[in-house]
Amino acid sequence: MQLPEIQLKQTYAQIGLRTTKPVQEIEQMPAELSIKQVPATMNIDRKPAHLDIDQEQLWNELNFKNNSVFSEDMAEFAKQEGLEAISEISQEGDQLAAIEKKTDAINSIVTSNANPSPAEFNIGFLPSYGSVKINFTPEELSIDWKKGGVEIEVIPHKPNHTYTPGKTEVYLRQMQALQIDFIGGTINTKS
């Protein structure tokens, strides 16, 4: 006798996933940049050096005088010579008037005039020390700096951002199934 067999054939359920990827777009516009350079400035105030040399006394001592100084010196010399001459004449007159002293006044006057004292002589072309006056004012330099700089102006732009989220859909790709088969003998299903 042959026993019947039950044969089971099972198909499992299968699910499927349908995925849409997310999309992200970022667009960044560059910032607007404005740069202005302010140059530095420099002002230089310069007073040049100054040298004064006064040689007037030197030239006067060397007898290279200008007209006004020469005229004044000659007038002073003439005045002095005139006063000395008046003094000398006055002394001679006093000698002649003093008869009571019984001196030979005329002989004394003639002798002193005939034999004058030796003239004073000196080297006349050497000027005295300090006859040249030198005055020197050094150069003055004043520098004024004004710093420049940079003026920067920035206008930023926000990024443009778009985002589409992704999706995942779950679906049934295959239904589950169970198939039962009887193999072999007959089975009375009616009883």
The pLDDT of residue 33 is above 60? yes
Q: Is the pLDDT of residue 189 over 60?
A: no
Beta carbons of 134 and 52 less than 8 angstroms apart: yes
Q: Residue 1: is its pLDDT beyond 70?
A: no
pTM: 0.36
- Look at 31 and 102; give whichever has higher pLDDT: 31
Q: Which amino acid is at 62?
A: L
Of 171, 173, 161, 159, give the one whose Cα is nearest residue 22: 161
Tell whether the model's pLDDT for residue 190 goes beyond 70.
no
Can you tell me whether residue 9 is helix, strand or coil? Answer: strand
Tens of pLDDT, residue by residue over 88-121, are 888 888 877 777 777 777 777 777 777 777 777 7
d(CA 66, CA 63) in angstroms, rounded, equals 9
pLDDT at 191 over 60: no
Indicate whether 187 pLDDT > 60: no
**Mean pLDDT (the chain, rounded):** 85
- Where does the pLDDT of residue 6 fall: very low under 50, low under 70, confident under 90, or very high at 90 and above? confident
Q: For 34-57, what is the mean pLDDT? A: 90
65 vs 32 pLDDT, higher one: 32
- The string of pLDDT tens digits covering residues 129-151 is 888 899 999 999 999 988 888 88
Quote the crossing angle between the two packed helices 67-97 and 105-114, to the nearest 10°: 150
pLDDT at 82 over 90: yes
Write out the DSSP string of 166-190: -EEEEEEEE--EEEEEEESS-----
pLDDT at 2 > cutoff 70: no
Split at pLDDT 50, 70, 90, the class of 186 is: low
Tens-digit pLDDT profile for residues 150-163: 889 999 989 999 99
SS3 78: helix
